[in-house]
Chain A
Amino acid sequence: EIVMTQSPATLSVSPGEGATLSCRASQSVSTTLAWYQQKSGQAPRLLIYGASTRATGVPARFSGSGSGTEFTLSISSLQSEDFAVYYCQQYSDWPPRYSFGQGTKLEIK
């Protein structure tokens, strides 16, 4: 099983500033890595797939990078609606045994 580890658990940032979230895989997943945003009481929303491709409708201030075992989600100029929990997920395993990171809570400083 591929274990996904996110850091930090909580990140406090002021609106207008940038944020960098990290995700590490226990073994290489190439670029089969996705990022999701989840707001309280809502379903997750796909932000990034293929490690760096923005999903439809996702603002350009969200960007993803990395390959293999190390990945980053960067958010520039944070807006109020960006404060949420972010999860990374690998979809490399076959047969599928998809796994998520434990999440990073992005909170207002």
Chain B
Amino acid sequence: EVQLLESGGGLVQPGGSLRLSCAASGFTFSSYAMSWVRQAPGKGLEWVSGISGSGGGTYYADSVKGRLTISRDNSKNTLYLQLNSLSAEDTAVYFCAKLRGLRTGPFDFWGQGTPVTVSS
């Protein structure tokens, strides 16, 4: 059974940093691309970042480029998202999602999400 378990969210002051983690199990982690998708309170879904199965390709939405860094440790079956220079606009639930393919595809499994609140 595929499982994705996010952690690391919380309350952070504007300008602060957080590191989110997503522990994966139930599939060959290195064989699939992964992404982070966020959802602001009462809003829709926004893709923010993706990474290939090998970790050699990383991709970002324009809205977060330069402030977020995605990475993965295939030996630990874990996906990461480093969030820097946070602002109120980054307040959201952050979901990790498994893609159906090595490079791209739909998001076929999702974690339950970890909330990030940026506030003073």
Q: Enumerate chain A interface residues (CB-CB to B < 8 A).
A: 1, 34, 36, 38, 42-46, 49, 55, 87, 89, 91, 94-103
Contact = CB atoms under 8 A, between A and B. Distances in A.
24 contacts: A1-B62, A34-B107, A43-B110, A44-B37, A44-B107, A45-B110, A46-B108, A46-B109, A49-B105, A49-B106, A49-B108, A55-B108, A89-B107, A91-B104, A91-B106, A95-B57, A96-B59, A97-B47, A97-B59, A97-B61, A99-B47, A100-B44, A100-B46, A101-B44
Contacts of A103: 44-45
Contacts, number: 60
B116 to A, nearest CB: 16
Interface of B: 35, 37, 44-47, 50, 57, 59, 61-62, 95, 99-100, 104-113
A6 to B, nearest CB: 9
A107 B45 CA distance: 19
A34 B106 contact: yes
Given A43-B95, A87-B45, A96 B108 contact: no
A45 B99 CA distance: 13
